Structure 1
Amino acid sequence: MPRALRPVFLCLAAALPAVALRLSGVHPSAPLAIVVFGLGVVAASFVLAWAAEAAEVDISGGLAIALLAVIAVLPEYAVDLYFAHTAGSDPAYVQYAAANMTGSNRLLLGLGWSSVVLISLYVASRRSGRTVKALVLDSGYKRELGFLGIASVVAFVIPVTGQIHLVLGIGLLAFFGYYLWRAAASGHDEEPDLIGPAARIGALPTVQRRTAVIGMFVTAALVILMAAEPFADSLVEGGHALGIDQFLLVQWLAPLASEAPEFIVALLFAWRGKGGAALGLLISAKVNQWTLLIGSLPIAYMIGGGSAALHLDGRQVEEFLLTATQTLLGLAVLLSLRFPRWAAWTLLGLFAVQFAVPGQTGRYVLCGVYLALTVVALVRNRQYILPTITSPFRRTEKPAGAERADELVEV
């Protein structure tokens, strides 16, 4: 058992400085705090990810994927909910809650989805000796896309109204609960395909495995709870001290730290030729962000002393609109359950372009580009729109077995 847990102990050792600083009450300079507490969040995130993967051995397949996606982004939620809670008493923090959410969301699709597809196609082409042009998903992922489609369309209420209302939040949380219920009833009982430390932990005897997984969950959660607040505050203070836009620092650095383990797990799956499983994990995470994360923000805001609606300024509205249009394009491309190479390069390119065209005009132009490409993709895949949107409400059918989530075909 100690050998299987060696990577876990190394990660917890890396998180010790953050825990020690928090318990001692010492407040280092903002740049040093970003490094120390950021390292604590990243280290604990890896432990959480390994525990969630190993837990798949004891949880049914459909629910396991959904829960893994939830647990993997818990560090991000801890940071974002702290910003929302603090905003209830300090309005200056409202922008940071929106920044962290929109940054992580666009990072997940623009960089995560694209990278997984491109790596999967490279691996498949190298193994087959011919050019593989598209990643094909199992038909079971149609339901995931249906949930994502409904949630992302509903999310347009936010930029239109300029606020995240408590009623919307409760509705999204209820929709997330329904999503988990459908995942649990999906009937997918395939053996989990674990890699790295998660595989070694998952191979432990039942009692040792469950004890280790529970201990990892509890320890990592405590580290994240202690490190999230000072890490979030250090990002704000560090931006001021380093002369960097605080909004941008919170928008991109915090998600990179909290989502690193999730990205690495997905990329490892893709490198092993399990592109469907890798993309499926990131699709589930995207559903979680549009339901659980956004739905929790107004609740945290109200608990922190705010009103029933978290009001957004002009910049935050633009960021939400850009994030929503990017999501629609990704969804429109995947309606046929085929992710072609050109679409991956397009999403990756547009994600990169946003850093070269900052400002209100640049964001609105990008929104227009996303929407125009979305219309083209929807017209091309129009026969899949209704079946996808209604799939979350139809009775689950067990896959025939001929289709596989990691199947790659040449088109």
Structure 2
Amino acid sequence: MPAALLRRVALCLAIAAPAVIVRLSGLEIPPLAVMLVFGAAIVASAFLLAWAAEAAQKDISGALAIAILAVIAVLPEYAVDLYYAFRSGTDPTYEQYAAANMTGSNRLLLGFGWPLVVIVALLVARKTAKAEGRPTLGYLPLPRGSRLEIGFLALLGLLAFVIPVLGQIPFAFGVLLVLVFVWYLWRSGQAESETEEELVGPARLIGDLPQKTRRATVIGLFVVAASLILASAEPFADALVESGSSLGIDSFFLVQWLAPLASEAPEFIIAAMFALRAPSSRCPQLIRRRPETGRRRPGVSVETDRF
């Protein structure tokens, strides 16, 4: 395995190591330190997830790789909220925290997450256009290959209106949503990528490995990162409530804002990384026509150092 890749993976594991030590040893540290330790572990895991997901696109459909990445990346958000919901069964005071984390996560995703990705992609696209002497665009045209994702988002958006109409979330409705997502995974796996992904940074180092070694590395990174996130979710959730009391800050406020920010950090980091990549397959405005032939060729994408 390349030394450059080993150094990056080792750095991420070193950042997450204190969380593992605290969790396994049962060491008692102040709640504020718990938040920092386990929050750092979640962020470090996000980098491992990003590298593994991109490298996985050499062996499976790009859309399916992103879908699998999304499932793992949202584990901290789900784990924290499920923990609060589970605790509320024996301690009713935790009901407010379950609601706070859920509403805060959605608010952060729609109000900050999606706009962040669009803004980053626009900045990269404009920089690329100026470097090539082309006019800049004030919007991001979506490729035809995005119809699958947009279609499922539209479907689930319509289904979401069922919840306020019913005033509850029936168990059967939850099963339906899971089946829709499984359907999306299946459709993503059937989709064929129109262009070959060009990997950069650690993902390229993983992608250049022999097939068996590459697949083992990708699976290993997925498992390690997911394990770190799951191990960090519960202590982080408890530390939020305890820190609010010790610091004189409303615990509801911390759970509603700080918990979603930390738990969704992997999603934000990964999405921002993909936007910074801005390859021609994801940003159609980076593909231009050659006047002399009318043929399309990919524009120059801005590559950034990931870590």
Normalised by the shorter chain, which TM-score bucket?
A: 0.7 to 0.9
Residues 103 and 255 of structure 1 are in contact (CA less than 8 Å); yes or no, is this contact kept in structure 2?
Answer: yes
Structure 1, unmatched stretches of 5+, are: 279-336, 339-400
Say if 2:53 and 2:66, in contact at 8 Å, map to a contact too: no
1:47 partner letter: L
Shift in alpha-carbon separation, 1:246–1:163, aligned structure 2, 3 A: farther
**What whole-Å deviation, never above 9, does each CA across 1:68-119 have from its counterpart, x for those lacking one?**
2222222322222222333333333233233323323332332222222223
Within 1, Cα distance between the matches of 2:117 and 2:236?
29
After superposition, the Cα gap between the structure-2 partners of 1:99 and 1:54, relative to the gap in structure 1 and judged at 3 Å, is farther
- Could you say what the CA RMSD is over the residues aligned between the two structures, in angstroms? 2.9
Helix, strand or coil at the partner of 2:57 = helix
Contact 1:18 1:37 in 2 (8 A): yes
- Change over 3 Å in CA distance of 1:163–1:138 after alignment to 2: same
| 1:45-66 Cα distance to aligned partner (Å, 9 max, x none) | 3222322222222112232222
Q: How do 1:380-395 and structure 2 match up within 5 A?
A: none
Out of 174, 177, 194, the residue aligned to residue 172 of structure 1 is: 177
Query: Partners in 1 of 2:57 and 2:272 — Cα distance?
Result: 19
State the Cα deviation string for residues 291-325 of structure 1 (Å, max 9, x = none).
Answer: xxxxxxxxxxxxxxxxxxxxxxxxxxxxxxxxxxx
Structure 1 segment 10-409 matched on structure 2, within 5 A: 10-129=11-130, 130-188=135-193, 190-274=195-279, 277=282
Q: 1:135, CA displacement in angstroms?
A: 0.3
Counterparts in 2 of 1:146 and 1:7: CA distance versus 1, 3 Å: same
- C-alpha distance in structure 1 between counterparts of 2:296 and 2:102, whole Å: 38
Structure 1 residues 224, 126: CA separation in 2 closer, same or farther (over 3 Å shift)? closer
- DSSP 3-state at the match of 2:179: helix
Change (3 A) 1:277 1:243: farther
Give the superposition deviation at 1:276.
Answer: 7.2
State the alpha-carbon separation in 1 of the partners of residues 197 and 77 from structure 2: 25
> Residues 266, 255 of structure 1: CA spacing in aligned structure 2 closer, same or farther, 3 A cutoff?
same
Q: Residue 52 of structure 1 contacts residue 71 of structure 1 at CA under 8 Å; is this kept in 2? A: no
Distance 1:48 1:207, change over 3 A: same
- CA offsets, 1:3-42, max 9 Å, x none? 3132111111111111111111123221111111211222
| Whole-angstrom CA distance in 2 between matches of 1:249 and 1:133 | 36
Displacement of 1:233: 0.8
* C-alpha contact 1:120 1:274 (8 A) present in aligned 2: no
Structure 2 unmatched ranges of 5 or more: 286-294, 302-307
Q: Match of 1:177, as an amino acid?
A: V
Conserved? CA contact 2:101–2:260, under 8 Å: yes
State whether residues 53 and 68 of structure 1, in contact with CA within 8 Å, keep that contact through their aligned partners in structure 2: no
- Aligned sequence identity (%): 56
Rounded to whole Å, the distance in 1 between the matches of 2:150 and 2:259 is 26
Output the CA distance in 2 between the equivalents of 1:275 and 1:160: 42
Give the total of aligned pairs. 286
> Cα distance, 1:159 vs. partner?
3.4
Residue 200 to residue 258, structure 1, CA distance change in 2 (3 Å): farther
Secondary structure of the equivalent of 2:282? Answer: helix
Q: State the TM-score, normalizing by the size of structure 2.
A: 0.82
Residues 124-148 of structure 1, C-alpha deviations (whole Å, 9 max, x = no match): 3333343411100012222322211
SS, match of residue 171 in structure 1:
helix
The one-letter code of the counterpart of 2:60 is I
Report SS of the residue matched to 2:196: coil
Query: Deviation per CA, 1:245-288, whole angstroms, max 9, x where unpaired?
Result: 3233222222322332332333233334348738xxxxxxxxxx
In 1, the alpha carbon distance for the partners of 2:251 and 2:167 equals 21
Counterparts of 1:62 and 1:269 in 2: how far apart (Å)?
A: 13
TM-score normalised per structure 1: 0.63
Q: What SS does the aligned partner of 1:277 have?
A: coil
Q: Which amino acid in structure 1 is aligned with residue 22 of structure 2?
A: L
Shift of residue 232 of structure 1?
A: 0.9
